[in-house]
Structure 1
Amino acid sequence: MSVYDSEEVERVASNFKLNSKVVGIERFGSGHINDTFRLRMEDGGVSYLLQRINHHIFPDVDGLMNNIDLVTTHLKSVLKNEVEDVDRYTLTIIPTNEGAKYLKAASGDYWRVFILLDGTKSYDIVETPKQAFSGGTAFGRFQKQLSTLDATQLIEILPNFHNIDFRLSNLRKAMADDKVGRLSEVVDLLSYIFEREERMRRIIVMAKNGDLPLRITHNDTKFNNVLLDQDDNVRCVIDLDTVMPGYIAYDFGDAIRTIINAAAEDEKDVNNVVLNVPLFQAYTEGYFSEAKDFLTEKEIESLWYGVLLLPYMQAVRFLTDYIEGDRYYKVHYADHNLVRTNTQLKLVKELEAHEEQLIDILHQSLVNQ
């Protein structure tokens, strides 16, 4: 259910400990998973975000909200020694009138409320090195602040989300079934993917060997999950639904995947898929400005494997969906998932072609901190 009238939303909001009367309700943001509303209050002061949690995507709502509560509580305990008003620098859960972290309505929908962080902005696309630096700073700081919280206290809200063995197993099953007869079209792509399988397992192998500590990771490090102030300086990392135990290379790799490609994720002409190296360098410098304080040598080594892995894994997911008949991702034309696959694999090729240069930037960015 994604259509609500203002009276219904106001009834839901009345179940939460808000500081005054709701006088205005409006749709907020461009998210595709949860329904989000801005609540304007009578005193004109603090505003709130009321969200319907998509329990079809996140069926363990209790585990989800416990994860967010653990993370935000820990962040506040760290921030209290650094800033005057901690609520301006991390999300704050507003409890229900009964003190719960969320509300289960009679309709079966689940709702939650956060304080709205006013005076901030976000970008869907990184446009400048300063923005890239701020993005790297934000996620490096986020990981550093959470490095002192035991990751095993959180649940894996999306099991196997970044597990490449799991993703390749799904691809092999799709190949075996070939339900819509598309397998013969993608033989070359499959060969390219499986030629790189062992290299793309490096993070998993390192983790199994005990070389990588389990950390708390964000798992959705696109740039619009960073709130900046009006001068493009970091305020807060948001959208904590996917925060769970993982390995830091996954967050680093996915952030690079989303900023280094100069083309769209579904660019039809792969010749337009080229690397924006200055943004890579700026993000890396911002990241190490914070993360250098806690990263192990093996974790630093793993960052490059994450850069290669995340576009590769996204290609595996797109291609799996294409072979299965486009069941998971929304498509706008017949071979949309195939176009997406080619774009991600071209990005992998570009990364491989510039590997020596990019690794040198990684190392130099660390040294310069």
Structure 2
Amino acid sequence: MQSLANISEIVANFNCNADTASLKSFGSGHINDTYFLKNNDAIGADYLLQRINHYIFTNVPALTDNMCLVIDHLKVKVNATDPAKADKEVMTLIPGRDGKYFYQDKNGDYWRLCHFLSDTKSYDVVETEKQAFEGGKAFGKFQCMLADLNPTLLYEVIPNFHNISTRLAALQSAVEEDIKGRVNAVKTQLDLISQYAEAMQYFQQPEQQALLPKRVTHNDTKFNNVLLDSNDEAQCVIDLDTVMPGYVAYDFGDAIRTIINTTVEDEADMDKIQLNFALFNAYTQGYLKEAARFLTEVEVNSLIMGVLLLPYMQAVRFLTDYINGDTYFKIKFDGHNLQRAKAQLRLFELLQADKDHLHNTIIKQTESIKKGAKLAI
């Protein structure tokens, strides 16, 4: 936790009216540190202050440029239909006194400030079909509104972020170095990862890359990155650090990873990890309701591969970090990353077993929406 003196110094560099004495930690993110601040003006918007992890996000100025480009594009789209909703449905960054949308302190840490959206909530675990539907609608609308934004204008914040070939190579390097002597304890997990390694490189196949268009994608579509209003209706997509070029299936797959799981992503009891098909159906319906406006047939057919890839990839990442000594993800206890990896592999196995059913659901819902809305895909 930062001291109030440090926070006061940081906040003084932004064009805001924050009460630094109200500082408190906020959220459950793995990467950045987030704090809530009240506005000194009782009728003004409160704030979220974030320390950006510049060890992971190594080019904060370019990352910020991405965010500003996407936010501006989204606000133009919302303003065109309902200007009153622009600051509710899209994040608002607070500029610094130097005009930049970040501040670097004397310790080299990077900070940004944004408006806090009041009367909203997020969920780590989806509880109802309505929540799932609204989450799907939010991310589908997010992608749809950005479909006409040239992805080459965005900086690749984390190169090869969803490149499973690169992730597997990193895992192999960790295994070979075994700096913490942990490899012998994870042979079962390594064997399962190896068994599916070739099949999971679908998006690295040249024939798929020739057909699938790159889009501006979120790349971190956990359900808690959607804010819902007091009626559990979608309001705003948040955490835009990783917006960059990608495939729509990555976003869809990562969202399903958190939607379909009947428990938390780091569940210790493997028996509690099951598939909630009702939530999958609801999310898919909400997503396609918006995304079917721009998706190609090839993209629709790729969605199931995203569903399989993302928990598999997340397991690879967690296991790599565990073997390397827990240097990337925040952990709450020894073995946390291994527990996460085991849970994600269990989820992957269940999804793999039901992939045909899940794929058929996606296709049927797409056809239904095409027919009902007369949308050409």
> Normalization by structure 2: what TM-score?
0.90
2:14 counterpart of 1:16: yes
Residue identity matched to 2:13: N
1:177–1:126: structure 2 CA closer, same or farther, 3 Å change rule?
same
Residue of structure 1 equivalent to 2:75 = 76
Contact residue 218 and residue 244 of structure 1 kept, 8 A? yes
Q: How big is the shift at 1:94?
A: 1.9
**Matched residue SS, 1:50:** strand
SS at structure 1 position matched to 2:56: coil
Match for residue 41 of structure 2? 42
1:342 maps to: 342
Number of residue pairs the alignment of both structures matches: 366
Deviations 1:76-116 (A, max 9, x none): 11111121221121011221223222222344332222222
* Cα distance in 1 between the residues matched to 2:108 and 2:221: 30
Aligned residue runs from structure 1 range 1-369, under 5 A: 2-5=1-4, 7-18=5-16, 22=19, 25-30=22-27, 31-32=29-30, 33-85=32-84, 86-205=86-205, 209-331=209-331, 335-369=335-369
Q: Displacement, 1:332?
A: 5.3
Change over 3 Å in CA distance of 1:52–1:340 after alignment to 2: closer
Return closer, same or farther for 1:227/1:207 CA change in 2, 3 Å cut-off.
farther
Distance in 2 between residues matched to 1:303 and 1:206, nearest whole Å: 18
Structure 1 CA distance for aligned equivalents of residues 267 and 152 of structure 2: 39
Deviation at 1:228, TM superposition (A): 1.3
Matched to 2:275, the amino acid is: L
**Cα distance, 1:330–1:44 mapped onto 2, change above 3 Å:** closer
Deviation at 1:327, TM superposition (A): 4.1
Q: Partners of 1:259 and 1:21 in 2: how far apart?
A: 35
Residue by residue over 1:239-268, the C-alpha shift from the partner in whole angstroms, topping out at 9 and shown as x without a partner, is: 111111111111111111112111332333
Q: Equivalent residue of 1:241, what SS?
A: coil
Conserved? CA contact 1:67–1:154, under 8 Å: yes
Change (3 A) 1:21 1:140: closer
Q: Residue 228 and residue 208 in structure 1: after superposition, are their counterparts in 2 closer, same or farther (change >3 A)?
A: same
Give the deviation of 1:4 after TM superposition. Answer: 2.1
Q: Match for 1:10: what amino acid?
A: S
Give the % identical residues. 47
Q: Is the 8 A contact 2:254 2:306 kept in 1?
A: yes
2:205 counterpart SS class: helix
Q: CA RMSD in A?
A: 2.2
| Paired letter, 1:14 | A
Amino acid at match of 2:50: Q
Q: 1:273 to 1:83 in 2, by over 3 A?
A: same
**TM-score normalised to the size of structure 1?**
0.91
Contact 1:39–1:50 (8 Å) recurs in 2 = no
Of stretches 107-116 and 65-74 in structure 1, the one that deviates more from structure 2 is 107-116
Secondary structure at 1:284 match in 2:
helix
CA distance in 2, matches of 1:296, 1:136: 18
C-alpha contact 2:34 2:48 (8 A) present in aligned 1: no
Deviation at 1:178, TM superposition (A): 3.2
Q: What do residues 36-66 of structure 1 show as CA deviations (whole Å, max 9, x unaligned)?
A: 2323132522333333323233221111110
CA distance in 2, matches of 1:177, 1:188: 18
Structure 2 SS opposite 1:158: coil
By how many angstroms is 1:212 displaced?
A: 1.0
Q: Distance in 1 between matches of 2:122 and 2:274?
A: 24
| CA distance in 1 between partners of 2:338 and 2:111 (Å) | 36
Q: Whole-Å Cα distance in 1 between the matches of residues 74 and 51 of structure 2? A: 24
**Which consecutive unaligned segments of at least 5 residues does structure 1 have?**
none
The structure-2 alpha-carbon separation of the partners of 1:107 and 1:153, relative to structure 1 and needing over 3 Å to count, comes to same
Q: Which stretch of the first structure deviates more once superposed, 174-183 or 164-173? A: 174-183
> Does structure 2 retain, via aligned residues, the 8 Å contact 1:16–1:94?
yes
For residues 216 and 199 of structure 2, the distance between their equivalents in structure 1, rounded to whole angstroms, comes to 24
Question: Aligned AA for 1:191?
Answer: D
Say which SS state the counterpart of residue 83 (structure 2) adopts: coil
Whole-angstrom CA distance in 2 between matches of 1:326 and 1:45: 40
SS at match of 2:37: strand
